[in-house]
Chains A and B, each alone.
Chain A
Amino acid sequence: GAGVSQSPRYKVAKRGQDVALRCDPISGHVSLFWYQQALGQGPEFLTYFQNEAQLDKSGLPSDRFFAERPEGSVSTLKIQRTQQEDSAVYLCASSLNTGQRNEKLFFGSGTQLSVL
C-alpha cells in the first residue's frame, strides 16, 4: 500500500479481555516497530522486527504483551488480559533498513485502545 496501515482505528475492551492490533507496513520495508503513546506523551518503544525476526523486545511492559510478524510483512501486537493502564495509542512504523543513520520511520495513524 501507499502507507502504513493499522487496524482497527479504535478498540474498546473490557478489562481482562484479549486484544489484537494489526499493522500492514509499506511494501518492501524490512524493519517494523511498535510504539505505545499515552495521552499527551511521546511514543515509547515496544518492539522491533527485521523481517520475521524479533530483534528487540526490550520495551514490552509485561509478558501480557506479545508481537509477531510470521511472514516478514504484516505484524500483530497482542495484549492479553488487558488492564486500564494499557489504554493508549499503539503506533506502528516501518522502514527500509538501509543501515543509514538518517533513515526515517514511516508511521501509521495508530490504534487507540481504551480499556474500561
Chain B
Amino acid sequence: AQKITQTQPGMFVQEKEAVTLDCTYDTSDPSYGLFWYKQPSSGEMIFLIYQGSYDQQNATEGRYSLNFQKARKSANLVISASQLGDSAMYFCAMREGRGAQKLVFGQGTRLTINP
C-alpha cells in the first residue's frame, strides 16, 4: 500500500492566486513527521515545511502553510500569493517512528504558475 498519496499529477494556477496541493498518508505509528519538498528543474530537492504528528497547530513558513487534518490523515500544502518561481515538482514525504531516519515520498505534483 502507498504510504504517501498525491492525487494531483499536475496543477495550473494563475500568478498571485493561492494553491493547495493534496497529500494523504497511511501509517499506524502514532509518532510521525510530514515534510514537503520542492524540486525545480535543476533537480535539487528543497525543504519547504514540516508538521509533526503531535503538533497542535498547523505549520507555517512564510508563504507556505500546511493544512494538517490528522483524523483524515491529510497534510495539504497551501501556497499563498503564488509566484512564477513556484513552478516546480512538489513532493510530500513522511518519516515514521522515533529514531527512524528515511523519508518516504509520494509521486509528486507538478505545479505550473501562469503569468
A interface list, Cβ under 8 A from B: 31, 33, 35, 40-45, 48, 50, 55-56, 89, 91, 93, 95, 97, 99, 101-102, 104-110, 112
User: In the assembly, what is the distance between CA of A95 and CA of B33, in Å?
Assistant: 15
Interface size range of chain B in the complex: 20 to 34
Which of B35, B102, B105 lies in contact with A48, CB distance below 8 A?
Answer: B102
A48 and B101 form a contact (CB under 8 A): yes
Contact check, A91 vs B45: say whether CB atoms are below 8 A apart: yes
Report if B114 contacts A (CB, 8 A): no
Listed residue (A44, A56, A104, A112) with the most chain B CB atoms within 10 angstroms of its CB:
A104
- A105 to B99 alpha-carbon distance, docked (Å): 14
Assembled-state Cα–Cα distance A102/B50 (Å):
7
Chain A residues with Cβ below 8 Å from B108 are 40-42
Which B residues fall within an 8 A CB radius of A?
Answer: 4, 6, 31-33, 35, 37, 42-47, 50, 52, 91, 95, 98-99, 101-108
Residue of B nearest to A47 (CB): B102
- Do most interface residues of chain A lie in helix, strand or loop, or is the interface mixed? strand
Complex Cα distance, B32 from A33, in Å, reads 19
A101 touches B106 (CB 8 A): no
User: Which A residues touch B44, using CB under 8 A?
Assistant: 107-110
How many whole Å from A54's CB to the nearest CB in chain B? Answer: 12
Report A33 CB to chain B, min CB distance, Å: 6
Pick from A43, A97, A104, A108: contact of B47, CB under 8 Å: A104
Q: What separation, in Å, do the CA atoms of A40 and B89 have in the docked complex? A: 9
Using Cβ atoms and an 8 Å threshold, which residues of chain B touch A44?
105
Which residues of A are found within 8 Å of B91, using beta-carbon distances?
A: 42-43
CB pair B42–A109 under 8 Å, yes or no, is: yes
Partner of B32, one of A35, A93, A101: A101
**Known contacts A101-B52, A104-B35; A109 and B43 CB within 8 A of each other:** yes
List the B side residues contacting A108 at CB < 8 Å: 44
A45 in complex: contacting residue of B37, B45, B104, B106, CB < 8 Å: B104
Q: Report the nearest A residue to B4, measured CB to CB.
A: A42
A-B contact pairs, 6 of them (CB 8 A): A40-B108, A45-B102, A48-B101, A93-B45, A101-B52, A106-B47
